[in-house]
């Protein structure tokens, strides 16, 4: 049974309520399957083991024959890009992820550190001319023939306190007034999920919903986004922000919460001892995640900086014959 794969990206830049979501095509493999890597919080010009993680991503990406890569945000430290001519783009991206297996589309989310720089630079077509893999648009839908994945919900506007705004300057151009902008994001997300007919539904954002890492739970997402994801039977929420690898299962719904934010600097050492939901796996070091999808099986794997498999978990969907 061929299902539509929908990849909805909202990168916290303005678009009018009349804009249509741009639709892109992503082919599955000949057997109808799909595989991709997920990495976040990485852009440090190769430092903090970013280059080593990238090398292992290339090795695993080749073995899995990945179709694309998802970046969960904080793409360029410490303060995003200064502009489209910022050498950090090539020094932290093009010159780091050089493996042949990683020469695939990179669908990228914006993180809080990215908003400390020039947001429009990361969204610019100029970067795609420098490296055609790079794709960060205001919003888009990626269609394949397998599954629907909604990615991503970048809701840093919710989580910026008056103290962090005092300590740092953020590029809010195009997203004010924030209250109305966030209301539109939630409305668009709910509408897209409501219209989905796919078995598999995945939502990707930068911030955690649940986590035992240093940032912990994000109350605004728990209160306002998580109920929507549960209502429309989202299978996985994928995020970065906490510099770790993590799998948490909801106790009140089938949704699985997956953190892949260990692309460079990690080992924070600040681990919370309790979470309302069930923690299946937590790793405080560097690494990345892979996802392999078929019509009825999703395989989640976490790898460390040496390419060692740390954790593997499968989710199954019941196949029904057509009547």
Q: What residue numbers does the annotated binding site for Fe cation cover?
A: 41, 74, 77, 112, 206, 241, 243
For the record, the structure tokens of 233 come out as 């039977």
Q: Is 278 a catalytic site residue? A: no
Residues with Cβ < 8 Å from 162, sequence gap 6 or more? none
Q: Cα–Cα distance between 279 and 250 in angstroms, integer?
A: 9
Which residues line the annotated binding site? 41, 74, 77, 112, 206, 241, 243
Out of 113, 207, 215, 247, which one is annotated catalytic?
215
Contact 288, 232 (CB under 8 A): no
- Distant-in-sequence contacts of 170-174, Cβ < 8 A, 24+ apart: 170/112, 170/115, 170/116, 171/80, 171/115, 171/116, 171/117, 171/118, 171/119, 171/120, 172/115, 173/119, 173/120, 174/13, 174/14, 174/119, 174/120
How far is the CA of 318 from the CAs of 5, 199, 297, in angstroms? 18, 9, 9
How far is the CA of 218 from the CAs of 181, 208, 278, in angstroms? 19, 6, 16
Catalytic residues: 215
């Amino acid at each position: 049974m061929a299902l539509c794969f929908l990849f909805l990206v909202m990168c916290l830049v303005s678009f009018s309520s009349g804009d249509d979501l741009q639709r892109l095509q992503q082919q599955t493999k000949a057997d109808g399957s799909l595989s991709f890597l997920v990495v976040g919080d990485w852009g440090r010009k190769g430092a903090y083991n970013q280059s080593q993680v990238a090398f292992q991503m290339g090795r695993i990406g080749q073995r899995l024959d990945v179709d694309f890569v998802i970046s969960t945000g904080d793409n360029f430290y410490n303060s995003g890009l200064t502009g489209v001519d910022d050498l950090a783009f090539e020094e932290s991206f093009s010159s780091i992820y050089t493996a042949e297996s990683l020469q695939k589309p990179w669908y990228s989310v914006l993180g809080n550190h990215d908003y400390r720089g020039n947001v429009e630079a990361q969204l610019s077509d100029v970067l795609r001319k420098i490296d055609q893999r790079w794709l960060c648009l205001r919003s888009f839908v990626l269609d394949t023939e397998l599954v629907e994945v909604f990615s991503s919900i970048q809701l840093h506007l919710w989580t910026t306190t008056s103290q962090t705004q005092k300590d740092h300057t953020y590029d809010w151009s195009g997203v004010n007034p924030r209250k109305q902008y966030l209301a539109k994001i939630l409305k668009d997300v709910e509408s897209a999920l409501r219209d989905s007919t796919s078995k598999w539904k995945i939502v990707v954002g930068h911030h955690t919903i649940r986590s035992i890492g240093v940032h912990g739970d994000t109350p605004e997402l728990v209160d306002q986004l998580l109920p929507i994801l549960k209502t429309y039977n989202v299978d996985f929420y994928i995020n970065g922000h906490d510099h770790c690898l993590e799998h948490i299962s909801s106790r009140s719904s089938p949704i699985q919460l997956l953190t892949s934010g260990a692309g460079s600097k990690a080992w924070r050492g600040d681990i919370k001892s309790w979470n309302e939901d069930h923690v299946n796996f937590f790793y405080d070091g560097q690494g990345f995640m892979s996802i392999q999808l078929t019509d009825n099986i999703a395989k989640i794997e976490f790898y460390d900086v040496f390419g060692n498999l740390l954790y593997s978990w499968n989710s199954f969907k019941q196949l029904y014959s057509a009547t």
